[in-house]
Amino acid sequence: MLFLLAHTKRDRNEKKITFYLMYMFLSYLCTMIFAKKVNWKQDFNQYYKGLMRWKMKHLSEQQTMIVLSFLVGIFCGLASVLLKNTVHYTYMLITNLSWFSKSTANFLFLAYPMIGITLTVLVIKYFIKDDLSHGVRKVLYAISMRKGKMKRHHCYSSMLTSSLTVAFGGSVGLEAPIVLTGSAIASNIGSFFRMNYKCMLTLLGCGAAGAIAGAFKAPIAGILFVFEVLMLDLTMTTTIPLLISAITSAMVSYFFLGQDVEFVYTVTTPFELAKIIPFMILGIIAAVISLYFLRINKWVGKLFKHLKQWERLIIGGSILGVLVFLFPPLFGEGYSALNNLLANDTEALLQNSFFFDYRNNTWLFLGVLLAIIFLKAFATSVTLSAGGVGGTFAPSLFIGGFVGFFVARVINLTGMIEVAESNFALVGMAAVMAGVMHAPLTATFLIAEITGGYALFAPLMIATTMAYLVVKPLTKYSIYTESLAKAGTLVTHDKNRNALQLIDKSKIIEYNFVKLYPGDKLGDIVKAVEVSSRNFFPVVEKDGTFLGIVVLDDVRHLLFKPEFYHKYKVTDFMRYSPHFIADINDSMDKIINKFKGSDRYTIIVTDKGKFVGAMTRANVFAAYQHYMQEVSEE
């Protein structure tokens, strides 16, 4: 790991400094371990308690968040560098073999994707032993259903498995695993320092922003990603930690990787207002391709869903191997192919393929571009469905770049107008990303930061807006949120529902009820009235099974008539209606729906049929109001 962090594209003196710092750190660590025998658990608990006392005494919540966001930024930057270098050097190792020719097709491409996905599946099954679905969805689920808490293994598991998938040719991206890793690191740091729910959400956002900023050296895009995709509220309380985390991660990435983070491109042809219509057309075409991407992802997922794991592995790995063998740009993330496209090095796109000898045939080249555009979405879906780990961030950029270049080349071939093909490729990347992720601002600023300026800001805004406006009415949810929304576990995009979901039900349930039993008489009801301040009494079996309630108004006229105390039974006055009963495991949405009747002010709460207590409309509203005030504080 230290080699991968240090062996980067920095000059020799900077590498010496890096190795020296790492050497000093390891020497200190070894000294601490071997110099004396210590009780690590006891010492850790002692230091931890001291640290918590010092934090509470000397640091406010805001100061603590500033420190933690800085730490999160450092770890996210290191994670980005480590993952990118791992994939890069693994790819270089397996493609720089003596029998690997650049001018002919390589049959190794048939095997590499299968190897990568197989290794990924084995690691997940025998080492991680947990589901590693799409990284961004995991983060959204943690925010929606787990109060910002994430499992510890997510700090490394998605990095390990995605590196195996992508390095061996899996046609997915590394950004989603980096986002999951960064958010998991932030979540566990927040848990370690016992931060409250509001701070946990902010830290998760810091992890996601730091991940994007570190991967692309684009801090603004990282922050906008948090607001558009994770739907974190934009307040001064959240903005400052996000800024600190994003810029810190970007600087760490810059220190190790220099300028070469993903793309290094300078716009040489400025935007001309007369060419606004071609960019609008590009936005519409990008929207169509975005819809295709979303639809093909769902379709392939359904095809593979009912297959056994080994069937998904063999079928998916074989299909992916054939696709990569025929079209090598589909191998891995595809950023090298995008760089070739931006540099107008079309010959490099056809290396290692059957089409290399026809590289000067214009129409064949356009056909290859079109095939790559449509097959990349299919290859990405197959990779994920077969068991690979990765994201759709990079594939959307890849497809967008090829779409933009293809549209520009066709326009130039018509001879009607001359456009810059590299500019169209960049704008196409943003447009497809905006359509797939429903994040036009993130896409716009990402490409603006990648190009080092805002020369293309106007066409970027035009194309991303067009793509988003076309896609949004046709598909309500983005590629990250659709499955969560269908499962009813997405609350990040609905603030009211989010507030209800995160209310602690145990704190608003009232428990002080006097219970009655089926065999009790009216006299027992009178005794219950004497010791209770309630206007109703639950009727339960001896094992606690809820049967119904007795309302005080129904027996009030008999309370002072002793002659009836032994005549009437509790069951003579008992009421029961499923509309007034909720299970303790029901969502707050479902419980709130039970209050919608005009006369329903109290809901009985049960646990698997046994009486627990009751929830009142007033308590629920008070808890909701308290939550909204807490998360809205500046």
pLDDT over 90, % of the chain: 29
At 585, the pLDDT band (50, 70, 90 cuts) reads confident
Q: Is the same domain home to 478 and 504?
A: no
- What gap in Å lies between CA 79 and CA 69, rounded to an integer? 15
Quick: pLDDT tens for 48-83. 777 778 778 887 888 888 999 999 999 999 998 888
Q: Is residue 41 part of a domain?
A: no
Local structure of residue 101 (DSSP, 8 states): -
Looking at residue 102, what is its pLDDT? Answer: 47
At 187, the pLDDT band (50, 70, 90 cuts) reads very high
Could you tell me which of 270, 274, 246, 251 has the C-alpha nearest to residue 261?
251
Boundary residue ending a domain (257, 288, 304):
257
Boundary residue ending a domain (257, 284, 316):
257
Taking residues 413-442, report their average pLDDT.
90
Cβ-Cβ contacts under 8 Å for 600 (sequence gap 6 or more): 579, 580, 594, 617
pLDDT at 28 over 70: no
At 97, the pLDDT band (50, 70, 90 cuts) reads low
pLDDT at 404 over 80: yes
Q: Is the same domain home to 542 and 480?
A: no
Looking at residue 25, what is its pLDDT? Answer: 55
Looking at residue 206, what is its pLDDT? Answer: 93
Q: Is residue 205 part of a domain?
A: yes
Taking residues 506-515, report their average pLDDT.
85
Mean pLDDT is lowest, of 40-44, 63-67, 224-228, 416-420, for 40-44
Q: Is the same domain home to 392 and 442?
A: yes
Q: Kindly report the pTM of this predicted structure.
A: 0.78
Encoding tokens for residue 288? 């169509």
Q: Is the same domain home to 438 and 298?
A: yes
- Mean pLDDT taken over the chain: 82
Looking at residue 103, what is its pLDDT? Answer: 46
Q: Is the same domain home to 470 and 506?
A: no
Q: Is the same domain home to 149 and 171?
A: yes
Q: Is residue 123 part of a domain?
A: yes
Q: Is the same domain home to 429 and 446?
A: yes
> What count of residues does the chain have?
634
At 129, the pLDDT band (50, 70, 90 cuts) reads confident
Q: Is the same domain home to 465 and 529?
A: no
Write out the DSSP string of 470-514.
HHTTT-SS-TTTHHHHHHT---TT-HHHHHHHTS-HHHHEE----
**Helices assigned H by DSSP within 477-616:** 482-487, 495-501, 505-508, 522-531, 552-555, 588-594
| 176 within 8 A of 79, measured Cβ to Cβ | no
| 334 within 8 A of 432, measured Cβ to Cβ | no
Q: Residue 128: which domain range?
A: 55-257
Could you tell me which of 609, 134, 572 has the C-alpha nearest to residue 393?
134
Among 118-127, 144-153, 446-455, 502-511, top mean pLDDT goes to 118-127
Q: Is the same domain home to 207 and 292?
A: no
Cα angle 419, 394, 120; round to 5: 155
3-state helix, strand, coil in the chain (%, to 5): 65, 5, 25
Quick: pLDDT tens for 318-373. 999 999 888 888 988 888 888 888 888 877 777 767 777 766 778 888 888 999 99
Q: Is residue 532 part of a domain?
A: yes
At 2, the pLDDT band (50, 70, 90 cuts) reads very low
Boundary residue ending a domain (489, 522, 539):
489
Q: Is the same domain home to 476 and 330?
A: yes
pLDDT at 409 over 70: yes
- What gap in Å lies between CA 176 and CA 523, rounded to an integer? 66
Q: Is residue 44 part of a domain?
A: no
Write out the DSSP string of 254-276.
HHHHTT-SS------S---GGGH
20 or 312, greater pLDDT:
312
Q: Is residue 531 part of a domain?
A: yes
Q: Is the same domain home to 459 and 520?
A: no
CATH code of the domain in which 510 resides: 3.10.580.10
| 324 within 8 A of 169, measured Cβ to Cβ | yes
Domains of the chain: total:
3
Looking at residue 320, what is its pLDDT? Answer: 93
| 113 within 8 A of 169, measured Cβ to Cβ | yes
Q: Is residue 297 part of a domain?
A: yes
Mean pLDDT is lowest, of 323-337, 349-363, 534-548, 549-563, for 349-363
CATH code of the domain in which 325 resides: 1.10.3080.10
576: left (phi over 0), alpha (psi -120 to 50) or beta: beta
Q: Is the same domain home to 473 and 522?
A: no
The two beta strands, 581-583 and 602-607, are parallel
- What gap in Å lies between CA 312 and CA 328, rounded to an integer? 22
Q: Is residue 49 part of a domain?
A: no
Side chain identity at residue 108, one-letter code: L
